[in-house]
Structure 1
Amino acid sequence: MIRYPQLTGRTVGVTAPSSGIPTELHHLLHEAEKTFASRGFTLRFQPSSWTQSNAKSAPAEVRAHELTALFQDEAIDLIIPPWGGTLLIEILDRIAWDELPAKWMLGYSDVSLFLFVYTLKTGIASAHGTNLVDLRGEEWDETSSRWLDVVSAKEGETVIQRSSEHYQKEWQHGNPTPHIYHLTETTEWKSIGGNEATGRLLGGCIDVLLHTIGTPYGDIASFQRERLNGEPILWYFENAELDVPALKRTLLQMKWAGWFDHASGILFGRSEAKRSNRSKGIRPKRFTLNFKTCSMCRSSMTSTVAMCRPN
């Protein structure tokens, strides 16, 4: 059974389990604090939020201690890191997972690695969504703002989420809009193998999740057996940096490790695969992963993504 945290207040703990904010960008945190204060929130910053050295905010033991302390502090209602990074993986073996209470934590990119393992290890839901500095704008766009609806939902309530109408093609850090993003591109859904799927959402940034395959931090079989009571997984992935060959290798490894044995489908969000392979002169073609028949939806689901073939 999956447990859901209940948001009871508006005090946000801010710590950097991956990358922190370097001195020259501290204004981003100040702007976020001002925006959240205008919406009735109080931000409590941990020291790692303000530091960055050697591709991480602080030594692994410091990051693990700060994050654990925020989880165990009853005065903290939810946790939102400043942004992602690259080395959150260093803290996984320093967390006492069975001592963490149910508390919402929000983030994506490298932060999603912690969220993924937290849910697998504890059976507690986590929230894959925007990072703190992306919420520093004068206003929040319609899609990004839905994080608050999700974490504020009471037990038994239903939250219906819909696709964005537009998305951002690339960052313009020196030219933010009132809601930070430049939403210039029309969002388009592409479906292969069916238009409906039902299951428990699980996933994150595939670049970092792949490193848990075959480890105690990626035990999908035990999670399904002990927490899901036969429900299939509806996977979702964002791809930060993998090109098409690397993405294909990763999906095949996940399949061979049994991650897709009882899955109803895969959702893909942002992906650098298409862009990175154009620069390498690689022409993408499709490859298909065939899932075993799902007893819940009584059909075989197929996810099709790009496969590389040099010109």
Structure 2
Amino acid sequence: MIQYPTLNKNATVGVTAPSSGVPDELHVVLHTAINRMKDRGYSCLSGDTPWMDDKAKSAPAVIRAKELNEMLSDEMIDLIIPPWGGELLIEILEHINFETMPNKWIMGFSDISLLLLAVTLNTGTATAHGSSLVDLRAIESDDTTAMWETVLATKQNETVTQYASEKYQKEWDHENPTHHVFNLDTQTYWRTMTGQNTKVEGRLLGGCIDAIRHLIGTPFGDVHSFKNKHISGEPIIWYLENYGMSTAELRRSLVQMKLAGWFEDASAIMFGRSPANTPVDNYTAKDVYEVLSEELDIPIIYDIDCGHVPPQITFINGAYAEVEVENGRGKVIQTFK
């Protein structure tokens, strides 16, 4: 059984950096993000790590883990949102108190998705793959990003529906900021390998492939045990995104996931838009998806709203989902059961 935290009004947000912190020159961005949360009616408690950044991390692993464990156990804090991702979250896993972890939302993406997946696999507690804190600093959020509050406020046995964005941001244009933070300038179109409309169902699991693949072979990445213990062997819909890998490295990572049994009984795999996927010798991302679809004999959906090419849908690890793609438009229905 999956445990679902609930976001209540006037909640307190804990801000900690279990991966990278924010360098001095960008502290103004973090201040703005915290102030925006306060404008929305939330209280914010920040640790020390978000304001520190050196040697590819906010602080040594034991310090990052200690601050995260303290925020998780603090009854005053209802929700944890790191400022952003980073590189070395994996260092803190062995120091996290999974056995005593309370039922509390953690939200983020990129390197944070490694923590999210590990928490859900090892505790059965749902986690939220969605915006980082700095991406919530907008005066007005776009419709897709703004859904994070509605999704996290969904209660046990309730259903929440999200739709594909109208437009996405093809690349950053920092010289021309918008009220939405993102420059949404390119038409969104969800695609399937068959080119046909598709509907799939299953439990959601996923994240940034660059990060979560490193759970394979560790005590924190036992997908088989999670399926037996928490979801009674139900099929999984994997949502994945590639931040920095070439197509060959993407393929190697997906084969490793397959060989580790992560895709056994999967009902579908979805891929977010990617800023990477650099072709190797004419080997494209579409080629990768095609061979994976043939090997697993399951639907592959791609160019969805997930990951480093914003905006992104808030996907809940562990939730039961129905995903529909019709004429390039996507719909995600998540049930907290």
Does the pair score TM above 0.5? yes
* Equivalent in the alignment of 1:107: 108
Which SS does the other structure have where 2:207 is aligned? strand
Q: Relative to structure 2, which stretch is displaced further, 150-159 or 113-122?
A: 150-159
* Equivalent in the alignment of 1:57: 58
Letter aligned with residue 16 of structure 1: A
Q: Relative to structure 2, which stretch is displaced further, 281-290 or 174-183?
A: 281-290
How far does the alpha carbon of each residue in 1:19-62 deviate from its partner, in whole angstroms, 9 at most, with x for none?
Answer: 11111111011111221111111111100010100010011001
Which SS does the other structure have where 1:105 is aligned? strand
1:195 has 2:192 as partner = no
* Equivalent in the alignment of 2:7: 7
Q: Displacement of 1:179 after TM fit? A: 1.0
Which SS does the other structure have where 1:263 is aligned? coil
Pick the aligned partner of 1:205 from 194, 205, 208. 208
Measured in 2, the distance between the counterparts of 1:116 and 1:26 equals 28
The correspondence of residues 68-83 of structure 1 with structure 2, limited to 5 A, is 68-83=69-84
* Equivalent in the alignment of 1:272: 275
Letter aligned with residue 4 of structure 1: Y
Q: Displacement of 1:281 after TM fit? A: 6.2
Which SS does the other structure have where 2:107 is aligned? strand
Which SS does the other structure have where 1:223 is aligned? helix
* Equivalent in the alignment of 1:248: 251
In 2, are the aligned partners of 1:261 and 1:292 still within 8 Å (CA)?
Answer: no
Pick the aligned partner of 2:242 from 227, 235, 239. 239
1:229 has 2:232 as partner = yes
Q: Relative to structure 2, which stretch is displaced further, 113-122 or 6-15?
A: 6-15
* Equivalent in the alignment of 1:40: 41
In 2, are the aligned partners of 1:77 and 1:104 still within 8 Å (CA)?
Answer: yes
The correspondence of residues 154-165 of structure 1 with structure 2, limited to 5 A, is 154-165=155-166
Q: Displacement of 1:225 after TM fit? A: 0.9
In 1, are the aligned partners of 2:135 and 2:181 still within 8 Å (CA)?
Answer: yes
In 1, are the aligned partners of 2:20 and 2:58 still within 8 Å (CA)?
Answer: yes
In 2, are the aligned partners of 1:232 and 1:263 still within 8 Å (CA)?
Answer: yes
> Identical aligned pairs, as a percentage?
50
In 2, are the aligned partners of 1:263 and 1:291 still within 8 Å (CA)?
Answer: no
Which SS does the other structure have where 1:197 is aligned? strand
* TM-score, structure 2 as length reference: 0.84
- Which sections of structure 2, spanning at least 5 residues, go unmatched? 303-337
Q: Displacement of 1:303 after TM fit? A: 3.0
Q: CA RMSD in A?
A: 1.8
Letter aligned with residue 303 of structure 1: I
Q: Displacement of 1:304 after TM fit? A: 7.8
In 1, are the aligned partners of 2:240 and 2:271 still within 8 Å (CA)?
Answer: yes
Measured in 1, the distance between the counterparts of 2:227 and 2:34 equals 39
* TM-score, structure 1 as length reference: 0.91
* Equivalent in the alignment of 1:297: none
Letter aligned with residue 153 of structure 2: S
The change in CA–CA distance for 1:291 and 1:230 in structure 2 (over 3 A counts) is farther
In 1, are the aligned partners of 2:242 and 2:272 still within 8 Å (CA)?
Answer: yes
Q: Displacement of 1:227 after TM fit? A: 0.8
Measured in 2, the distance between the counterparts of 1:33 and 1:94 equals 27
1:85 has 2:59 as partner = no
